[in-house]
Structure 1
Amino acid sequence: MMDEAETQLKDQITDLDLKQKSATEKDSTDFEEEETRSSSTEGPDTPDQCSSPSPGPAMLHSEAPPVPLYTVRFTDNVSKSGDRIEFTINVRKLNTGTISTITREYEDLAFLDHQLITNQTKPGLIFPPLPPPPIVDPSGAESRSRQILGSSNRNILGDSGMWAKNCRELEKYLELVVQHPVLGIDPLLQQFLDNKDPPPRPNKVRKGWLSGVKTKWESRNSSARDRDEWFSKEREWVAAYSTNIKDASDKFNEMIASRSRLIQQVGHLAAALNITVAGNEGANGMYNKLNSGFSSSLESIKCGMENEVGNEETSFGNCLELYTRCINAENAMLMRRTSLIVDADAALKAVEKAKPNREQEARDASDECEDALEKCSSVAKQEIKRFHQQRLADFRSSLISYVEGEVRCSRENYADILKSIEKMKSYPVPKISCSNLDPNHNT
């Protein structure tokens, strides 16, 4: 009996070891498969199969990002003096909890962006994109107003609405910089946020005369074949996604612009209804009261439509515009990596063609290019995974905010319309006999 029990125990232990070994081998195989995936293999954009590349949660394996050193918040305090617009920023230092208030112009943030890009030695980084500058001249405001309200419209949109949008965009830019694992600890950023006065900057950031030639050369390298299938699929995904998100952002902005034009027309109609006719007695008086009541109803409807458009712009519209710029930033990083591939291939060919007395020098140059490409690829893969995690989280948050805002605005608009209908029904309209009407008189 004891021998049989020992034999059964040994068999159970052997089976358990085999199951653990099988599970370990399966986990290792799954991990290797996930490491070979790129954004073009699977993702939440389509449930089962994805004809166009898109990243999914299974492929987004990256280390936890470091805790940011700062949080930034743009206030409503925006001042304008001539062509200068100053934004007020509340900066919280997380390690001490202290809060400071600084004022910065757009040009200060543009110079910070220039410094962060030029002083970094890692070509695999995806730099947060700087939003376009605010409109400060009257001609620009007029052009923007015509673009939104229509070419025949002569109304000029106020600066307060645009400044609020500029504050949101610049705040999101600084948030992305602060939360970046490399840029967030850059001394240039700390100097920018810690000092009361902005760092000194030149009047105009000048580019070298070779910058245009370099850009054209990099654009020619975009057609170069990639060595790594993971990056090759990512490049295909970026090419397709950049076109689609740009188209979606443009169409969403067109929808907002059309609704803004409708709001303007409703406002004009409400103002026209307030124009009274002579006399406040008899039919004229009743006509004026009805028009006044209808005008107030249209004003309430107009306010509801403005709230709805504001929600659409601040939630999903801002997210589409942001990631239209972000996907261009990722494409720029992939272009820099492709340029390193071209340089490495050229250096390898130079080794094959080198003369014996120059072979070692050419080999050293080739090894240096290969090392730079390997380091760039390692950083770029982590940056892409972090970028997709941020992208999915931001789109999820913006869509939830967009839907909740639409539901809230729809309920408020429905309640306002019901109140307006009841108000119009409550007006006592006297009954007038048709035989007593004189076409030449008001009574």
Structure 2
Amino acid sequence: MAASSERSPPPFPASEDTEAAASVPADGDSDEGEDIFVSNVRPLAFPPIYRVSHCPHTGSCLSRSAEHALLYPRPCCYATDLLRAGHSHFLPNRPLCSHHVSALTDVLPLQLEEDEAKDSFDVDVSVTSPEKIGQSELLNYLPSDTSLAMFKSKTFFVRRRFSDFLGLYEKLSVKQSLHGCVIPPPPEKSVVGMTKVKVGMDDPSSVEFVERRRGALERYLQRVVSHPTLLQDPDVREFLEREELPRAVNTQALSGAGFLKMINKASDAVNKMTIKMNESDTWFEDKFQEVESEEQQLRKLHVVVDSLVNHRKELCMNTAVFAKSMAMLGNSEDNTALSRALSQLAEVEDKMEQLHQEKAANDFFVLGELLSDYIRLLGAVRGCFDQRIRVWQRWQEAQSTLQKKREAEAKLLWANKPDKLQQAKDEITEWESRVTQYERDFDRIGMTVRKEVLRFEKEKVKDFKSHIIKYLESMLQSEQRVIKFWEAFLPEAKAVA
């Protein structure tokens, strides 16, 4: 068996397999507390595949002699130009020259920027406040306008349950995550939250839960339709356009499918501990450690923000009690000036209570939800690295099986059993084909994961920047209002004789 550093995989095919997700059974799961949504979309045009065989600097055929060199070799400027042009399917056949050694480092970020500038995503997704239907369903009506030819009409309405979003995520996970795509995760189903909604929509905690889930589903759908690969998925386009969808199943918070997922996760965790991948590219190892570290820090920060929100809510309640007590004291005061000042102070404290409520909501919906989203997204990024390891394990297992088949063939030759020799040769040919295919899959998913991680990091910076600016502007406006409240009260306090 040839060493991995000597392998020369065949060129990639012109198109990838896009296996449809397994159809879900028709048994009825409870869609308790489900919401509804829609959007506008612009499809992408993918560039054709180009294969180039010579380097303009060396004149030699281009190739890779090792895994790292194939995915991200030390660049020649010609390979750099190809990647800048968006032709990442290009695979060389001989070692590249070392001309412009540092150029390829910036190729993927530049390619992402150029793709973003070139592709216009005419997508407008929003989620309306849900309407309660019956005792358990929440339906969101989403009007959409579009000029895209891919839709049947320019204006349409769709309704979506919460389970429809979970079903879309499951379908995308079955198909796209196998190739290394980062699938944005939807918010998890909450049994406690939906129980409160069933009891009464006017309860403050249930109203907060409904708004929180509405915003989370809106952000989830926006991330899906802004992903160039996911946008092309037929399930996504059907979700955005089709008036009625089949009822999604296996989406309950407590179900057999949920327990099966837990078992699979535990099995994957055991495999990761027992099977160590010999990583030849330190980029993947470094990035994975960064993702794990960042996820831990975000979880700690999320706990602190939750504590801050609870503190502001408690401060809000105490301020309301203080304002009420001050108003009663002002009513019982005989001195007219002092009574008026105390009443004015009670009014200021009422305004401060409202301000504390707004600050708590700002902490929760701007900071807290951002952190919650990215904790889930970092979990999805980790899943991409795990999928790459699974593909590598499959490749290694195929190589091991091929080695055993060759050893069996050698034994048959030694034992002089020609009747079984042809079957052994056929099996060797079959497993050689599998090894080549699995090796190619490993190369492909490595390139996809690298591109997905860079895209994720770029989007993360944009999201955090916009949310932090929004948060700071809101805090600044709040402090300006506080100054205005107390400056207006100061003359009343000084007027007390």
Question: TM-score with structure 2 length normalisation?
Answer: 0.66
1:234 maps to which residue?
287
2:224 maps to which residue?
177
CA shift for structure 1 position 34: 4.6
Q: Report SS of the residue matched to 1:89.
A: strand
Distance 1:421 1:286, change over 3 A: closer
Q: Distance in 1 between matches of 2:381 and 2:344?
A: 55
> Contact conserved, 1:102 with 1:197, CA < 8 A, in 2?
yes
> Contact conserved, 1:60 with 1:388, CA < 8 A, in 2?
no
> Contact conserved, 1:91 with 1:193, CA < 8 A, in 2?
no
Distance 1:378 1:287, change over 3 A: same
> Which of these residues, 446, 462, 476, is aligned with residue 407 of structure 1?
476
Q: Distance in 2 between matches of 1:180 and 1:99?
A: 23
1:138 maps to which residue?
196
Q: Distance in 2 between matches of 1:167 and 1:419?
A: 39
> Contact conserved, 1:75 with 1:90, CA < 8 A, in 2?
no
Distance 1:99 1:411, change over 3 A: farther
2:456 maps to which residue?
387
1:118 maps to which residue?
174
Q: Distance in 2 between matches of 1:199 and 1:116?
A: 16
Q: Report SS of the residue matched to 1:222.
A: helix
Unaligned runs of 5+ in 1: 1-20, 36-57, 143-155, 430-443
> Which of these residues, 386, 392, 412, is aligned with residue 341 of structure 1?
392
Amino acid at match of 2:100: S
Q: Which runs of 4+ in 1 moved over 4 A?
A: 24-27, 58-61, 139-142, 203-206, 208-213, 285-291
> Which of these residues, 352, 367, 377, is aligned with residue 301 of structure 1?
352
2:257 maps to which residue?
207
- Work out which of the two has the higher radius of gyration on C-alpha atoms and give 1 or 2: 1
1:31 maps to which residue?
103
CA shift for structure 1 position 281: 7.8
1:167 corresponds to 2:220? no
Aligned length: 370
**For residues 72-87 of structure 1, what are the structure 2 equivalents within 5 Å?**
72-76=125-129, 78-79=131-132, 81-87=134-140
CA shift for structure 1 position 79: 3.4
Q: Deviations over 1:416-443 (max 9, x none)?
A: 12223333444x55xxxxxxxxxxxxxx
Distance 1:409 1:352, change over 3 A: same
Distance 1:101 1:420, change over 3 A: farther
Distance 1:190 1:361, change over 3 A: closer
Q: Distance in 2 between matches of 1:261 and 1:94?
A: 49
Q: Deviations over 1:165-187 (max 9, x none)?
A: 22211110000011111111222
> Which of these residues, 488, 491, 497, is aligned with residue 422 of structure 1?
491
Deviating more after overlay: 301-310 vs 259-268 = 301-310
Distance 1:73 1:212, change over 3 A: closer
Q: Report SS of the residue matched to 1:72.
A: coil
Q: Report SS of the residue matched to 1:126.
A: coil
1:269 corresponds to 2:322? yes
**For residues 184-263 of structure 1, what are the structure 2 equivalents within 5 Å?**
184-202=231-249, 204=251, 207=257, 211-223=261-273, 224-225=276-277, 226-263=279-316
Q: Distance in 1 between matches of 2:179 and 2:219?
A: 23
CA shift for structure 1 position 362: 3.1
Q: Distance in 2 between matches of 1:204 and 1:162?
A: 19
Q: Report SS of the residue matched to 1:390.
A: helix
Q: Deviations over 1:369-401 (max 9, x none)?
A: 212212211221221111111111111111111
> Contact conserved, 2:177 with 2:387, CA < 8 A, in 1?
no
Q: Report SS of the residue matched to 1:282.
A: coil
Q: Distance in 2 between matches of 1:76 and 1:341?
A: 45
Q: Distance in 2 between matches of 1:423 and 1:198?
A: 63
2:123 maps to which residue?
70
> Contact conserved, 2:177 with 2:384, CA < 8 A, in 1?
no
> Contact conserved, 1:242 with 1:324, CA < 8 A, in 2?
yes
> Which of these residues, 427, 436, 440, is aligned with residue 371 of structure 1?
440
Q: Deviations over 1:1-30 (max 9, x none)?
A: xxxxxxxxxxxxxxxxxxxx9xx9998222
> Contact conserved, 2:135 with 2:198, CA < 8 A, in 1?
no
Q: Distance in 1 between matches of 2:213 and 2:262?
A: 29
Q: Distance in 1 between matches of 2:177 and 2:376?
A: 22
Q: Report SS of the residue matched to 2:101.
A: helix
2:465 maps to which residue?
396
2:367 maps to which residue?
316
Distance 1:175 1:204, change over 3 A: closer
Deviating more after overlay: 337-346 vs 290-299 = 290-299
Unaligned runs of 5+ in 2: 1-76, 82-96, 410-423
> Contact conserved, 1:125 with 1:379, CA < 8 A, in 2?
yes
2:183 maps to which residue?
127
Distance 1:208 1:319, change over 3 A: closer
Amino acid at match of 1:407: L
Amino acid at match of 2:334: G
Distance 1:423 1:81, change over 3 A: farther
CA shift for structure 1 position 77: 5.4
1:109 maps to which residue?
165
Amino acid at match of 1:105: R
Q: Distance in 2 between matches of 1:271 and 1:200?
A: 51
Q: Report SS of the residue matched to 1:64.
A: helix
Question: TM-score with structure 1 length normalisation?
Answer: 0.74
Aligned-residue Cα RMSD (Å) equals: 3.3
CA shift for structure 1 position 100: 3.1
> Contact conserved, 1:90 with 1:99, CA < 8 A, in 2?
yes
Distance 1:281 1:64, change over 3 A: closer
1:437 maps to which residue?
none
